Chains A and B, each alone.
Chain A
Amino acid sequence: MSILANKDTRAVIIGGVAGVNAAKRMAQFDFLVNRPLTVQAFVYPPEAGQQKEIFRGGELKNVTVYDSLAPALEEHPEINTALIYLGASRAAQAAKEALESPNIQLVSMITEGVPEKDAKRLKKLAQKHGKMLNGPSSIGIMSAGECRLGVIGGEFKNLKLCNLYRPGSFGVLTKSGGLSNEAMWLCAQNGNGITSAVAIGGDAYPGTDFVTYLEMFEQDPDTKAVVMIGEVGGSLEEEAAEWLAAQPRRIKLIAAIGGTCQEVLPQGMKFGHAGAKEGKKGAGSARSKMNALRDAGAYVPDTFGGLSKEIKKVYEELIAAGDIKPEAEIDEAVLPELPPRVQEVMKQGEVVVEPLIRTTISDDRGEEPRYAGYAASELCSKGYGIEDVISLLWNKKLPTREESEIIKRIIMISADHGPAVSGAFGSIIAACAGIDMPQAVSAGMTMIGPRFGGAVTNAGKYFKMAVNDYPNDIPGFLAWMKKNVGPVPGIGHRVKSLKNPDQRVKYLVSYIKNETSLHTPCLDYALEVEKVTTAKKDNLILNVDGTIGCILMDLDYPVHSLNGFFVLARTIGMIGHWIDQNNQNSRLIRLYDYLINYAVKPEQPVPDKK
């Protein structure tokens, strides 16, 4: 048996993330004692309509968030308890609504800093409706083996250590949340565990006092003794003493009172709890509370350290008197374990999971990203540049200085080609339409294809093939291309020709030839091809795509990476165009009619729809 919370308790949690976290902890307890989920609904207007995922052991439950209490209670008529997890400015109103809802019998508030006037009003309201109000500032209520309300009891392991999976014989009453857990632990170690534990909160005016709960414990036959942890301030402990002395009581009372240190400390010194404040002339002092309780027949150790001994003593007396029959200890091995998360099981090597993706280039699981094994900051500190990072991520190799200088030049040369080309123009149109940078740049990016900038890969691929399959046989290669592919990628330009060469190509070829020691079979082959094609037609020159493609093949880059150089380089230009248009606050572009040939049918009437 228990008080306040039991197997039939079903709760709604009013509040946001803290409430959801509490619900998760509560579900762990539900799993441990094999009971249905305690939390049936959440009320939190900002997240109304969502479902919160709560694991009860390995079972995933979805709990609905409502925008107010009424619909939650309508859909869950079994709910009889409300837990308030809102901030102080809204908690009182929520508690009021809960107390006024007919089905709800118990309201427990974790909220700290509730104004005293609000707390007093709520208490009065609860009394008027015959409801229980626990808190504010309460960590919650625990009934061993039956029900957990709030995070009281801590983590799963602690629930077992404190024997909370099965009822014992001790009730626990505390103001403090942390000490409720400590007291449950002491009862498990020195006795047989608890029936129920209630943290009433450390505020000056708690919704329910010690005496009310003592009376409930007195009526609960399974509770044989109560451990009460009070502290300086207020008169709840003195009232408990009066209750104890008023008539013979079935339960024994063990009490520890905090705050004796106040006798030697500066007057008015503030303790952790709002209610821990001595009144005038020593009223409510720890010492006077201890004396009152001792006089009333309670077991009161001088210090907290003496509490274990008192509990043990009372437990042994109860056994000697036959009030408690020692039960065989449950073997903890039979208790369920929380199902571990996949990561934890994998760490222990007990499960195999097929990976969804595979990567061979980078890893950010350590303290910083590593590119092909090299730490980014170390690359920086040792003087490497962006061209080396490109090599690492695209080719998984750290290039030689000569190689990285070539890569750098390829990027520099391809970065932009003015506003008129498809890519830049696409980005400019988007920028002028007010489109954000990523989308505007991708508008330009979509232009990259077979006719614009996309020939690098194919040029590299076919010239490489030619080197292997048609060495010294350019006519054979051209014939094969004509039959199987069409025009040779990388050959030909709209405006440039032999007489009007592309300076970029000239520079790149001369740089490679004169200033590097790169072995260039592809480039050499392409230049030979150019001699043949320009003999046929003046503008069938080796263009910049072809040049770059060949150089990259000669640098041993993977064929798939080749277009990437153009994509990367042009991104720099497209971003520049987007910034430029935005800086100028350019207007929306619309084509003038005179730039369009309207080769459409003349106006005609729409026939009636048949």
Chain B
Amino acid sequence: MAKILEGPAMKLFNKWGIPVPNYVVIMDPDRLAQLGEANKWLRESKLVVKAHEAIGGRFKLGLVKIGLNLEEAIEASRQMIGAKIGTAEVGQVIVAEMLEHDAEFYVSIIGNRDGAELLISKHGGVDIEDNWDSVRRIQIPLDENPTIEQLTELALNAGFEGEIAERVGKICSRLILCFDNEDAQSIEINPLVIRKSDMRFAALDAVMNVDWDARFRHADWDFKPVSEIGRPFTEAEQQIMDIDSRIKGSVKFVEVPGGEVALLTAGGGASVFYADAVVARGGTIANYAEYSGDPADWAVEALTETICRLPNIKHIIVGGAIANFTDVKATFSGIINGFRESKSKGYLEGVKIWVRRGGPNEAQGLAAIRKLQEEGFDIHVYDRSMPMTDIVDMALKS
């Protein structure tokens, strides 16, 4: 799953003939002035300026400004670029034409097990939530795209009339092509607007998710997926992602500010149960982390050091199920090195470490990590006979 920013989404729409407003993405407000000299639409249309970043609730944060002329747009860009929102900094803005329009529609397409489902409604924009009954849907079986006639029929059912229904049908057809060919997982256009005077349509706002696993067959994907957690990734998260992309197996890390229990857990399934166990016992997690697929020891070491640096943590849960092929001895040697390194740098003061793990070479791995007790670590080590998530209970009771 990979959410992409509006700019790249617009580019893909354009590629597949889905109408978009004129837009530019800029990092330097002066560039907008230059673009204004070259582009009539920037001088003559009302403009909208939006922070082109993965920041949730942009409107409330003042990172969306509407109804501007070019001068005002340049000024708005100047204010937004470089603005700091928490750990995030606005690096670029998207400036688009605010198409004067007569109506706002809703179109979306979402993948499902058997293909995808297309949804349309005459009531787009902020009204869609209240008018969900007006949505008409069509299931698109895998590799069996509906005809334009079928889509026009759908539009008619949704209350579109005449030429507008035909045009909506055509746009839907192109949207399906885009969805299918770009390995998209979901596309939501809200609103799709129309200016009736010249029958001009445009997708004014769009959210698009693509299947990042399919990137090997998309030479023109020049974008990176953006964070889906309502904020950009932190530096530590980026670092672990970089490591993840280079190794066999995987390491994952997401920070949850304010938590007291850090997770250094193995396995995509088990790690979630560990997080659940912390929450169920009234604890707060400081992060979500996971390593699996027998990753290199240095990658696990880097993950360990990252976790040790989390502020104000009281416990670290080194948990995992009984591994099938992840070598416990090898991955634990990375964890042990990470703990030692962190301690020498002054981290882990007053932090309790709780270990439970099984799998290949479990006896050697557990014996090795148990030795940290002799080096002054507050570490509690258990083998497979300890139920998997019970170390969380013990940590939170201690």
Using a CB–CB cutoff of 8 Å, the interface residues on chain A facing chain B are 21, 25, 88-89, 112-118, 120-121, 123-124, 139-140, 151-155, 158, 161, 174-182, 185, 202, 205, 229, 231-232, 256, 258-261, 263-274, 276-277, 286, 302-305, 308
Contact = CB atoms under 8 A, between A and B. Distances in A.
A112 B275 CA distance: 23
20 contacts: A88-B216, A113-B213, A120-B113, A124-B114, A154-B323, A158-B358, A177-B324, A178-B292, A178-B321, A178-B326, A179-B269, A205-B113, A229-B269, A261-B276, A269-B229, A269-B254, A271-B268, A272-B269, A303-B389, A305-B393
A92 to B, nearest CB: 10
The main secondary structure of chain B at its interface with chain A is mixed
Given A178-B320, A179-B269, A277-B1, A304 B389 contact: yes
B266 A178 contact: yes
Contacts of A266: 229-231, 256
Interface in B349-375: 358-361
A175 B277 CA distance: 19
A153 B288 CA distance: 26
Contact of B211 (A112, A117, A258, A276): A117
A276 B272 contact: yes
Given A115-B211, A266-B229, A269-B254, A305 B322 contact: no
Contacts of B324: 139-140, 151-154, 177-178, 180-181
Given A260-B279, A304-B388, A120 B115 contact: yes
B124 interface: no
Given A154-B322, A182-B358, A270-B252, 20 more contacts: A115-B211, A117-B183, A121-B143, A151-B324, A161-B384, A178-B326, A259-B272, A261-B276, A261-B279, A261-B285, A265-B288, A270-B254, A272-B252, A272-B269, A272-B271, A273-B268, A273-B272, A274-B213, A302-B280, A304-B273
A560 to B, nearest CB: 45
A20 B18 CA distance: 48
A204 to B, nearest CB: 8
Contacts of A118: 214
A115 B142 contact: no
A261 B392 CA distance: 14
Interface string B28-65: 00000000000000000000000000000000000000
Contacts of A271: 268, 271-272, 288, 290
A229 B266 CA distance: 16
Nearest to B185: A116
B149 interface: no
Contacts of B143: 121
Interface residues of B, number: 59
B278 A261 contact: yes
Contacts of B19: none
Contacts of B127: none
Contacts of A88: 213, 216
A272 B111 contact: no
Contacts of B273: 179, 256, 258, 303-304
Nearest to A269: B229
Contacts of B323: 154, 178, 181
A179 B183 contact: no
Given A272-B290, A277-B1, A305-B390, A179 B213 contact: no
A268 B322 contact: no
B359 A158 contact: yes
B82 interface: no
A319 to B, nearest CB: 22
Q: Which 10 A-B pairs have the closest CB atoms?
A: A176-B269, A272-B268, A178-B267, A182-B321, A115-B214, A258-B272, A178-B321, A304-B273, A261-B275, A179-B269
A182 B388 CA distance: 8
Nearest to A309: B387
Contacts of A182: 270, 321-322, 358, 388
Most buried by A among B211, B230, B326, B359: B211
A155 B365 CA distance: 14
Contacts of A155: 359-361
B228 interface: yes
Most buried by A among B269, B321, B359: B269
Contacts of B113: 120, 123, 205
B293 interface: yes
Interface string B314-345: 00000011111110000000000000000000
B384 to A, nearest CB: 6
B321 A114 contact: no
Contact of B267 (A114, A153, A158, A272): A272
Given A89-B216, A154-B323, A158-B358, A264 B269 contact: no
A232 B360 contact: no
A120 to B, nearest CB: 5
B269 A174 contact: yes
Contacts of B361: 155
A190 B115 CA distance: 41
Most buried by A among B111, B217, B268: B268
Contacts of B290: 271-272
A205 B113 CA distance: 6
A603 B278 CA distance: 100
Contacts of A124: 114, 142
Nearest to B268: A272
A178 B324 CA distance: 6
